[in-house]
Structure 1
Amino acid sequence: MNNYIGKLTIKLSFIILGLIIPFFSWSQTIVKDSLLQKVTLNDAIQYALNSQPTIQQAYLDEKITESTIKTKLADWYPQINFNYNLQHNFLVQTSIIGGNPVQLGVDNTSSAQFTASQNIFNRDALLALNTKGDVLLQSKQNTVNNKINLVVNVSKAFYNVLSTLQQIKISNSNIIRLERSLSDAFNQYEAGITDKIDYKRATITLNNTKANQKSNEVLLKARIEFLKSLMNYPEKEKLNVVYDSLQLENEVFIDTTQNLNVNNRIEFAQLQTQKRLLNANLSYNKWSFLPSIAANGAYNFNYQNNNFGDLYNRNFPNSYAGITLGLPIFQGGKRRENINIAQYWLRRNELDLEVFKNDVNSEYQQALSTYQSNFANYLALKENMSLAKEVYDVVNLQYRSGIKTYLEVIVSETDLRTSQINYFNAVYQLLISKVDVEKALGQIKY
Structure 2
Amino acid sequence: MKKIKYLAFFTTIYLTLILHIPLFAQTGLDTVGGPVSLKQCVEFALRNQPIVRQASIDEQINEKDIRIGLSGWLPQLTSSGLYNYYFKGSPQAGASGANIPAGTGVRNLSTVGLQASQALYNNDVMLASKTAKYSRQYYKQNTLSSQISVVSDVSKAFFDVLLSQKQLDITNEDIARLQRSLKDARSRYDAGVSDKTDYKQATISLNNSLATRKQTEEAIKSKTAYLKQVMGVDGTKQLSLAFDSSRYEQAAFIDTNQKLDVNNRIEYRLLQTTKSLQNINVNYYKYGFLPSISAVGSYNLAYFSHDFSDLYNRSFPTGYAGITLNLPIFQGTKRLQNLSKAKLQVERADLDILNAQNAINTEYVQALAGYKSNYASYQLIRQNVDLAKDVYKIVSLQYREGVKTYLDVIVAQSDLRTAELSYYNALFQLLSSKIDLQRSLGTLAVE
- TM norm. shorter chain > 0.5: yes
3-state secondary structure, aligned to 1:271: helix
2:375 corresponds to 1:375: yes
What is aligned with 2:273? 273
Residue 260 of structure 1 aligns with which residue?
260
Tell me the distance in 2 between the aligned counterparts of 1:29 and 1:294: 52
Q: CA deviation at 1:293?
A: 0.8
Structure 2 CA distance for aligned equivalents of residues 429 and 105 of structure 1: 95
CA separation in 1, counterparts of 2:83 and 2:122? 34
C-alpha separation in 2, matches of 1:126 and 1:293:
12
In the alignment, residue 211 of structure 1 is paired with which amino acid? A
Q: 1:105 to 1:111 in 2, by over 3 A?
A: farther
Partner of 1:351: 351
Contact 2:55 2:142 in 1 (8 A): yes
CA contact (8 A) 1:94 1:104 kept: no
Question: Which of 57, 61, 64 lines up with 1:60 in the alignment?
Answer: 57
Mapped contact 2:32–2:44 kept (Cα < 8 A): no
CA contact (8 A) 1:92 1:103 kept: no
Matched, 1:91 2:88: yes
Distance 1:148 1:125 in 2: 34
Q: Is the 8 A contact 2:392 2:409 kept in 1?
A: yes
Post-superposition Cα deviations, 1:161-213, rounded to whole Å, max 9, x if no partner, equal 00000000001111111111111111111111111111111111111111101
**Please, which of 65, 69, 72 is the counterpart of residue 69 of structure 2?**
72
| Structure 1 match to 2:407 | 407
When structure 1 is superposed on structure 2, of 16-25 and 248-257 the one drifting more is 16-25
Displacement of 1:380 in angstroms is 2.1
**Cα pair 2:389 2:416 within 8 Å, conserved:** yes
User: For residues 376 and 308 of structure 1, what CA distance do their matches in structure 2 show?
Assistant: 98
- Aligned Cα root-mean-square deviation (Å): 2.1
Structure-2 separation of matches of 1:410 and 1:67: 69
Contact 1:94-1:103 within 8 A present in 2 as well:
no
> What do the CA deviations read for 1:44-89 (whole angstroms, capped 9, x no partner)?
1111111111211111111111111111111111111111112222
The whole-number CA distance in structure 2 between the counterparts of 1:104 and 1:267 is 76
Structure 2 vs 1, CA of residues 273 and 323 (structure 1 numbering), >3 Å: closer, same or farther? same
Deviation at 1:26, TM superposition (A): 6.8
Cα contact 1:303–1:316 (8 A) shared by 2: yes
Residues 161, 121 of structure 1: CA spacing in aligned structure 2 closer, same or farther, 3 A cutoff? same
Task: Output one character per residue of 1:351-402: Cα deviation in whole Å (capped at 9) or x when no partner.
Answer: 1111000000000001111111111221222222232222212211221221
Partner Cα distance (1:167, 1:423) in 2: 10
Task: For residue 295 of structure 1, give the secondary structure of its aligned residue in structure 2.
Answer: strand
Q: Structure 2 CA distance, aligned partners of 1:70 and 1:20?
A: 38
> Does structure 2 retain, via aligned residues, the 8 Å contact 1:155–1:432?
yes
Distance of 1:82 and 1:153 partners within structure 2? 56
Inter-partner Cα distance in structure 2 for 1:70 and 1:146: 25
SS in 2 for 1:238: coil
Aligned 1:18-417 pairs, distance under 5 A: 34-93=31-90, 106-417=106-417
Q: Distance in 2 between matches of 1:82 and 1:160?
A: 65
Output the amino acid matched with 2:48: S
- What CA distance in whole angstroms lies between the structure 2 residues aligned with 1:29 and 1:280? 45
SS of structure 2 residue aligned to 1:162:
helix
Quote the offset at 1:92 in angstroms.
Answer: 2.3
Q: Answer whether contact 2:130 2:280 (CA < 8 A) is retained.
A: yes
Q: What TM-score, normalized to structure 2?
A: 0.90
Counterparts of 2:90 and 2:108, CA distance in 1: 12
SS at match of 1:213: helix
Q: Kindly tell me: are residues 277 and 172 of structure 1, through their superposed partners in 2, closer, same or farther at Cα, counting changes over 3 Å? A: same
Gaps of 5+ in 2: 1-13, 93-101
Q: Does structure 1 retain, via aligned residues, the 8 Å contact 2:175–2:210?
A: yes
Contact 2:395–2:404 (CA under 8 A) maintained in structure 1 = yes
CA contact (8 A) 2:91 2:106 kept: no
Q: C-alpha distance in 2, partners of 1:432/1:316? A: 81
Q: Identify the residue that residue 427 of structure 1 maps to in structure 2.
A: 427
Deviation of the 1:104 alpha carbon: 9.3
Pair 1:263–1:19, CA change in 2 (3 A): closer
Contact conserved, 1:87 with 1:110, CA < 8 A, in 2? yes
Segment drifting more, 174-183 vs 393-402: 393-402
Aligned residue for 2:241, secondary structure, equals coil
1:298 alignment partner, SS class: strand
TM-superposed CA distance for 1:21, in Å, is 8.1
Q: Deviations over 1:121-169 (max 9, x none)?
A: 1011111111211111111111111111011111110010000000000
**Does structure 1 conserve the Cα–Cα contact (< 8 Å) formed by 2:90 and 2:107?**
no
In structure 2, the CA distance between the partners of 1:104 and 1:132, relative to structure 1 (3 Å rule), is farther
Q: Identity over aligned residues, as a percent?
A: 45
Q: CA deviation at 1:27?
A: 5.4
TM-superposed deviation, 1:17: 12
- Structure 1 residues 380, 73: closer, same or farther in 2, change over 3 A? same
TM-score (normalizing by structure 1)? 0.91
Quick one: distance in 1 between partners of 2:299 and 2:338? Answer: 39
Q: 1:44, 1:231 within 8 Å by CA — same for their partners in 2?
A: yes
Aligned residues: 424
The answer for the alignment partner of 1:418 in structure 2 is 418
